[in-house]
Structure 1
Amino acid sequence: MCPDDSIRPQAAACPIDHLVIVGNGMAGQRLVEGLVRRDGAPRRITLIGEEPCPAYNRILLSPLLAGEMEREALTLRDADWYAAHGVELVLGERVEVIDRQARRVITDAGRELGYDRLVLATGSRPAMPPIPGLELDGVHAFRDLDDAAALVDCSRARGDGRAVVIGGGLLGLEAAEGLRKRGMRVSVVQRDARLMNRQLDATAAGLLEDELASRGLEIITGGRLDRLEADDDGHVTGARLADGRLLPADCLVVAIGIAPNAELGRTAGLEVDRAVVVDAHLTSSDPAIHALGECCQFEGSTYGLVEPIWRQVEVLTAHLAGESSDGYVEAPTATKLKVSGVSLYAFGSIEADDDHEVLTYHDPDHGDYRRLLLRDGRLEGAVLYGDTAAGPWYFEQSLAGRDLSACRQALLFGASDATPLLDDPTSTTPNPTMKSPLQEEAA
């Protein structure tokens, strides 16, 4: 029998007897898939999900709402897959108690499960503003299958009715466009002065706003929600803004961000700040308990995008399988918007400081915009709108910290023009007859 090595900060010396994963979302599912392929995987894995269905791709909720995809396409694995891989799948139950001393969890159905290691992958919930009226019928979040189904039902019942979306970030815009495609007249209220203010600069945000407005969305920036109004039956009828405007609403969607589901860890006595605090191996203050994804916090950061969460999964998979690893480290992530016909790509710094060199190309007639921020020849941030083909290459150069000084004059053209100059700085730009974006902008 393997000795209890749970107090060790590194990977286990031999397979874990029973691993319990709380949360059957995308992070928990990816962890299971990584473990069942490992020789050193836990001997027994139990996966507990609060929703009644197996894990599905939440990223695809937006095209599902827009009617561009069927529900079945979102399922990651069906129940037969878990059985075939020896994974016990418990659905429709919520873990309410973690007994750390006895190393067991208790669900709301009274089920008790012992564990040798426990992973919290409980995700997050929609953040809600402190305003009156959120309890009204017709007020929705946009976070899971039930939310998407409720919004589809609303669009069908109300026909060409009015919808208001609170939040002009990624999720809010995707929800707004989905409801528009379902035939509703949609207003988007963004508190900041521009859409997607965390990812886009003012020019790119303006192009995005113009495009969405041309499709029929009403975009209200600098708008602050004051309260919701209702009819005598308790159904929402409108959103009252702080400036007094009333936006009629047959349904209202709140998409202003997320809050980590950390209550289970907090009540169990784990170290919790905004989320469950973990180290580089995703281990909580209890060596037998790990946290992963949107419910965890590492070096002050919490998570809402899949790229860092997938890297966390790789680290934790190796750790639980007894493999050594350097642990999780923070790295930049790129942002893309999942709205048909709109291409944008952004990463890194958005606002330029005094030490940044700014390269910009803007072609309003074709709706193309590129803005690169460099410091000492190295790319620290980029915003691309319209033609985003070069985005992944820019991101790769930024992650590598590569000095791009040798190809500065061709950098805005992307990899095909910049790479030859990087390989041979004495060469000329491959397209000598083509004006540079900087020249075009000045013309």
Structure 2
Amino acid sequence: MSKPKLVMVGNGMAGVRTLEELFKIAPEMYDVTVFGAEPHPNYNRILLSPVLAGEMKVQDIILNDHDWYRENRVNLHLGKKVARIDRVKRVVISEDGTEEPYDRLLLATGSTPFMLPIPGNNLEGVIGYRDIADTDAMIEAAKKYKHAVVIGGGLLGLEAANGLKLRGMDVTVVHLGAWLLERQLDEVAGKMLQKSLEDRGLTFLLEKQTEALIAGESGRVAAIRFKDGMQIPAELVVMAAGIRPNISLAEASGIYCNRGIVVNDTLQTYDPKIYAVGECVAHRGIAYGLVAPLFEQAKVAANHLANYGIGRYTGSVTSTKLKVTGIDLFSAGDYMGGKGTEEIVLNDAAGGVYKKLVIKDNKLVGGVLYGDTADGPWYFQLLKDGKDIHEIRDSLLFGQSMVGDVGHAGQSKAAAMSDDAEVCGCNGVTKGTIVRAIKEKGLFTLDEVKKHTKAASSCGSCAGLCEQILASTLGGAYQATASDKKPLCGCTDHSHKDVREAIVAQHLTTKEAVFEMMDWKTPNGCDKCRPAVNYYLISTFPHESKDDPQSRFINERSHANIQKDGTYSVVPRMWGGLTTPDELRAIADAAEKYNVPTVKVTGGQRIDLLGVKKEDLPKMWADLNAAGMVSGHAYGKSIRTVKTCVGAEHCRFGTQKSMTMGVKLEKMLFDMYAPHKVKLAVSGCPRNCAEA
């Protein structure tokens, strides 16, 4: 007896997840055929950004290789776009004429990038950002051209901008909104994100409306013009201004569509033999773009296709846990607040942490986390459960460890999570799925969890939580990954220890030499490895290594220490705690000239100018340098200060020339790279007035 035929149009994450769920419960039920417009098997679109940045290769993001299709006896048509569905004959026809009959049809056509309807949107060099072909086109453009413009300050736009910057392009992000990621972050978090990305070299034009793209002599895009008349160069324009459900095939086939392909709670269209899942779908008027809801749809559709008929998809309460160029972000629910709500806020701009929890009627209804998202899943569970938080309100902002077993914070946090709590938003993996895999498959390491559940295999932001679940489930049997074996970052498989040892053994003196010798995956590194490698080089060979100022952190680049309000602290060096009238006069003049609000004598026998604006730093340092003063390095892993007492030069109890020794020590150790900040003191007698 022949099996019924299931044909799937679209070979992306939502569709293939539906097949995976179907094969778990009814592996022999259908003869399955899949049409994919791209020439690749199913891959993780979330990881296109690391491919663009050079941190991963295309083969690294394949989720289901060709063997998977063969093992599951799937008839796979790659590079074939379906042109028509004959619903009367129940046949799909591809553009090359291939026909496949179906008894059940699954549409998983995904979405398409929204291309602004402006003059020049069809020029060479203007592309969307949705698939591997788009990524390859951007990589090739980065080899030939200098100026890139990304239209859209959402997640996709920021990841594209970061990748192009790492490829060596000058990148400007154009955004219509007043702050970045306005659908995931409030204004405070959005502005913090912008500042962090500006420090990495990206340029932003907010509240800008694009009027036209202008061609150069070759016919390729050369500039972008805005409605206010401003114009900037653009040899590559990436449209990342949103996506639209891909409903053209369904509409042409007479299937009812609205914002997307309209489906019921069993993911069936108005034609009950045709199902639809993923970004192409509109369920109860909502089209979802996050992975977790799409995987929930996949499970329900698979159950119904297998004739279980018990599952219903009633919509998703979504949270967003993102990693934007290495910065962790989380948002859920009504994070903007409003009438009848209260807000609990922690804002540590200098530490790069912002938390806002929105409460209504003693229930958590929304929140935004920036920089520290470890408690995001816990907050999300409180939100979904509608739990009364009155008794834990005082400590709510400080996370789950403050309301549980603080002696075992990580393990108790994982143990307290419910089984249906989402751990990996990228792949829709819950805690229960991970725990079952650990127990049933005998998993002991994070790598094994990644392999069997796909948790932590995408952006990696949930890796720490996965390790906590391993530890709480296995107890003493847990095999933690040794810190000296963990890769320095996604650009390399080598650990910090490997890099340090290679620098010494091979006498490497430039980061380019390190990247070449150790087969770095990306030619320019990333924001994690560049500062680390630069530090290892200079601390190992301080007189030979070539310093790369752009690989230093912002405090080191600006010779100042960023404060909680975004201004800077400037501390000129005073050798051995000594100064002169000319130096004091120069400091006073600088304080007056640049309207410094606070001048403080530090405990290290120096003077601190607090509240300096970022734009004033170069001019202030030019004035101080002209007076013979240099940075006190009050921000670096280096010699900070050498305090001295007056010693034998002046003190009647002094037996040693402490000031002379202090000045010599400080000048000898100046510019030294150290594992941590270093502070010294020299006393000239046993009374120890310098507190050495």
In the alignment, residue 359 of structure 1 is paired with which amino acid? Answer: I
User: 2:335–2:357: 8 Å Cα contact kept in structure 1?
Assistant: no
Aligned residue number for residue 214 of structure 1: 199
Give distance in 2, aligned partners of 1:154 and 1:60: 20
In the alignment, residue 110 of structure 2 is paired with which amino acid? Answer: G
> What's the CA shift for 1:78?
1.7
> What's the CA shift for 1:222?
0.6
Counterparts of 1:280-319 in structure 2, within 5 Å, are 280-319=265-304
Between the two proteins, what is the percent identity of the paired residues?
45
Q: Pick from 240, 244, 247: which aligns with 2:232?
A: 247
Give distance in 1, aligned partners of 2:394 and 2:253: 57
Counterparts of 1:191-230 in structure 2, within 5 Å, are 191-230=176-215
Q: Pick from 79, 97, 122: which aligns with 1:135?
A: 122
User: 2:125–2:237: 8 Å Cα contact kept in structure 1?
Assistant: yes
Aligned residue number for residue 397 of structure 2: 412
Aligned residue number for residue 244 of structure 2: 259
Q: Pick from 124, 135, 141: which aligns with 1:154?
A: 141
1:173 aligns with 2:142: no
Higher-Rg member (1/2): 2
Give distance in 2, aligned partners of 1:325 and 1:34: 14
Q: Pick from 73, 79, 88: which aligns with 2:66?
A: 79
User: 2:304–2:311: 8 Å Cα contact kept in structure 1?
Assistant: no
Aligned residue number for residue 238 of structure 1: 223
Superimposed CA distance per residue, residues 407-427 of structure 1 (whole angstroms, 9 cap, x where no aligned partner):
000000000113479xxxxxx
SS in 2 for 1:410: helix
Aligned residue number for residue 367 of structure 1: 352
Counterparts of 1:17-166 in structure 2, within 5 Å, are 17-39=4-26, 42-158=29-145, 161-166=146-151
User: 1:174–1:338: 8 Å Cα contact kept in structure 2?
Assistant: no
Give distance in 1, aligned partners of 2:310 and 2:144: 53
SS in 2 for 1:343: strand
Give distance in 1, aligned partners of 2:310 and 2:28: 15
Superimposed CA distance per residue, residues 59-111 of structure 1 (whole angstroms, 9 cap, x where no aligned partner):
00011101111111111122122111111111111111111111111111111
In the alignment, residue 83 of structure 1 is paired with which amino acid? Answer: R
> What's the CA shift for 1:40?
6.4
Q: Larger deviation: 337-346 or 368-377?
A: 337-346
Aligned residue number for residue 330 of structure 2: 345
Q: Pick from 167, 172, 182: which aligns with 1:187?
A: 172
> What's the CA shift for 1:16?
6.5
SS in 2 for 1:122: coil
Give distance in 1, aligned partners of 2:112 and 2:28: 30
Give distance in 1, aligned partners of 2:90 and 2:29: 16
User: 1:41–1:320: 8 Å Cα contact kept in structure 2?
Assistant: no
User: 1:16–1:116: 8 Å Cα contact kept in structure 2?
Assistant: no
SS in 1 for 2:323: coil
Give distance in 1, aligned partners of 2:288 and 2:373: 25
User: 2:303–2:311: 8 Å Cα contact kept in structure 1?
Assistant: no
In the alignment, residue 370 of structure 1 is paired with which amino acid? Answer: K
Give distance in 1, aligned partners of 2:177 and 2:169: 24
User: 1:65–1:152: 8 Å Cα contact kept in structure 2?
Assistant: yes
User: 1:64–1:70: 8 Å Cα contact kept in structure 2?
Assistant: yes
Q: Larger deviation: 196-205 or 323-332?
A: 323-332
SS in 1 for 2:327: coil
Give distance in 2, aligned partners of 1:101 and 1:341: 51
Give distance in 1, aligned partners of 2:48 and 2:60: 10
Give distance in 2, aligned partners of 1:374 and 1:419: 21
Aligned residue number for residue 375 of structure 2: 390
Superimposed CA distance per residue, residues 241-287 of structure 1 (whole angstroms, 9 cap, x where no aligned partner):
11111121110100011011111111111111121100000000001
User: 1:348–1:380: 8 Å Cα contact kept in structure 2?
Assistant: yes
Superimposed CA distance per residue, residues 199-255 of structure 1 (whole angstroms, 9 cap, x where no aligned partner):
111100010010011111111111111101111221011111111111211101000
User: 2:155–2:324: 8 Å Cα contact kept in structure 1?
Assistant: no
User: 1:368–1:385: 8 Å Cα contact kept in structure 2?
Assistant: yes
Of the two structures, which has the highest relative contact order with CA contacts closer than 8 Å and spacing of 6 or more?
Answer: 1
Give distance in 1, aligned partners of 2:333 and 2:28: 36
SS in 1 for 2:16: helix
Ranges in structure 2 where 5+ consecutive residues have no aligned partner: 407-563, 566-692
Aligned residue number for residue 310 of structure 2: 325
Give distance in 1, aligned partners of 2:361 and 2:28: 46
Give distance in 1, aligned partners of 2:187 and 2:138: 31
SS in 2 for 1:290: strand
> What's the CA shift for 1:39?
3.0
Superimposed CA distance per residue, residues 21-46 of structure 1 (whole angstroms, 9 cap, x where no aligned partner):
00001111111222222236532111
User: 2:335–2:365: 8 Å Cα contact kept in structure 1?
Assistant: no
Give distance in 1, aligned partners of 2:334 and 2:26: 41
User: 2:189–2:354: 8 Å Cα contact kept in structure 1?
Assistant: yes
Give distance in 2, aligned partners of 1:62 and 1:18: 36
Give distance in 1, aligned partners of 2:402 and 2:12: 42
Name the count of aligned residue pairs.
408
SS in 2 for 1:183: coil
In the alignment, residue 317 of structure 1 is paired with which amino acid? Answer: A
Change beyond 3 A, Cα 1:16–1:199:
farther
SS in 1 for 2:228: coil
User: 1:348–1:381: 8 Å Cα contact kept in structure 2?
Assistant: yes
> What's the CA shift for 1:395?
0.9
> What's the CA shift for 1:295?
0.8
Q: Pick from 305, 315, 319: which aligns with 1:334?
A: 319
Aligned residue number for residue 422 of structure 2: none
SS in 1 for 2:279: helix
In the alignment, residue 401 of structure 1 is paired with which amino acid? Answer: G
Change beyond 3 A, Cα 1:192–1:41:
farther
User: 1:40–1:321: 8 Å Cα contact kept in structure 2?
Assistant: no
Q: Larger deviation: 333-342 or 243-252?
A: 333-342
SS in 1 for 2:346: strand
User: 2:330–2:370: 8 Å Cα contact kept in structure 1?
Assistant: yes
> What's the CA shift for 1:350?
2.7
> What's the CA shift for 1:196?
0.6
Give distance in 1, aligned partners of 2:216 and 2:55: 33
Give distance in 1, aligned partners of 2:102 and 2:352: 55
